[in-house]
Amino acid sequence: MCARTHGMHLFAALLFSALLVAGCGSAPPQGASEPINYRLKWLFNVSVVGDLYAEAEGLFAAEGLQVTVKAGGPEKDAIKELELGHAQFGVASADQVIRALAKGSPVVVIAQLFQQNPLQWIYRPDRSRFQTPDDFRGKTVGVTFGGNDETVMKALMAEGGLGEDDLTLFSVRYDYTPFYEGRVDLWPVYRNAQGVIIGDKLRRAGEAAAFFDPAAAGVRFVANSVVTTRAILEEHPQTVQKFITALLEGWRRALDPANAERVLAMIQEHDRDTAPPLLREQLEITRRLVRPDAEARIGRIDAAAWKQTEEIMLAQNLIPAAVNVTASLVSP
């Protein structure tokens, strides 16, 4: 490699650093009219229905906020964007929050969207019944290695006193063929998203589908929550209050059965690949996961479940030491 090429590589590295610097450290919202970015965890689908509804119905604007709801994705990390100043609010999974706290991130949780974790395992009830972790014995169970479903499954195994030799863990990717072919007995899905779609495919093939919910076995691993930084919370408490008020109102209205048709039309615009009847089913299940009973307050932070989530991660050495996650749970 010649010196010129070498120099170009160095230049590219410096340019990259400079671009990163230029994008860093955007100030938190200074006032009500400052633009606010809200980074979701995943793409626009039924799991973010309340977030989209709050934006579409002008609930943020009604609070005097200019909020842009941004789709997430596998390569997006809301907590990193908060620290880098690219977003002021975001959605992160509990394991992300705890990992971030373990690395000194100033993240705080200001609302817990799902009271029940949508992560469950689909199976065919006519072949095997899965009521407790002990039923996994001798079965092939799908997990995404490195994903939080692996963490939950290992917690379930520990709960049931199962070792690695008692069952076969199957590496899960985007391809559901091994489950359709019956090579895998249990397959991890988000109950309100893929769970509905795969269940529908099984029904069309004349098969029944059932779901194993880890919470039924005592493993309450928290799912997605709304996060911000401690600095934003302390320096702009009113903005945080307004944001969370508008957001939770968006969720309340989106899950109100009276608004179902309007909500479905909105979701259909963002998620054109899911058939309307399936969207309706997804919305119904999302409603139960976010608000398990009519009395439950949307956005309630379940401190006990957070504590258990931290304990699970600590037991599996996913964090080097306790982070006292409850200290970072704040209801504004």
Which residues of the shown chain bind another protein in the complex (CB under 8 A)? 1, 6, 9-10, 13-14, 16-17, 20-21, 24-25, 74-75, 77, 79-80, 83-85, 96, 99-100, 103-106, 144-147, 171, 173-175, 177, 318
Between 21 and 321, CB nearer to another protein: 21
Tell me the closest approach of the beta carbon of residue 156 to another protein, in angstroms: 19
Q: Which residues pair with 109 in a beta bridge?
A: 227, 329
C-alpha span between 231 and 216 (Å, rounded):
37
Between 105 and 245, CB nearer to another protein: 105
Using DSSP's 3-state secondary structure scheme, residue 115 falls into coil
Using DSSP's 3-state secondary structure scheme, residue 2 falls into coil
End-to-end CA distance of the chain: 57
Between 103 and 127, CB nearer to another protein: 103
Between 142 and 250, CB nearer to another protein: 142
Q: Of 313, 331, 332, which is closest to residue 323 (Cα–Cα)? A: 313
Within 8 A by CB and 6+ apart from 172, the residues are 142, 143, 144, 149, 184, 187, 188
Is the distance from CB of 126 to CB of 207 less than 8 angstroms? Answer: yes
Rg (C-alpha) for the chain, rounded Å, is: 21
Between 318 and 330, CB nearer to another protein: 318
Is the distance from CB of 222 to CB of 118 less than 8 angstroms? Answer: no
Between 86 and 288, CB nearer to another protein: 86
Residue 93 is given by DSSP the state E
Between 131 and 177, CB nearer to another protein: 177
Between 25 and 292, CB nearer to another protein: 25
Tell me the closest approach of the beta carbon of residue 98 to another protein, in angstroms: 11
Is the distance from CB of 331 to CB of 110 less than 8 angstroms? Answer: yes
Q: Of 161, 159, 172, which is closest to residue 121 (Cα–Cα)? A: 172
Map tokens 């994008």 to a residue.
23
Query: Both tokens of residue 159?
Result: 């709960």
Tell me the closest approach of the beta carbon of residue 10 to another protein, in angstroms: 6
Is the distance from CB of 231 to CB of 108 less than 8 angstroms? Answer: no
C-alpha span between 69 and 269 (Å, rounded):
15
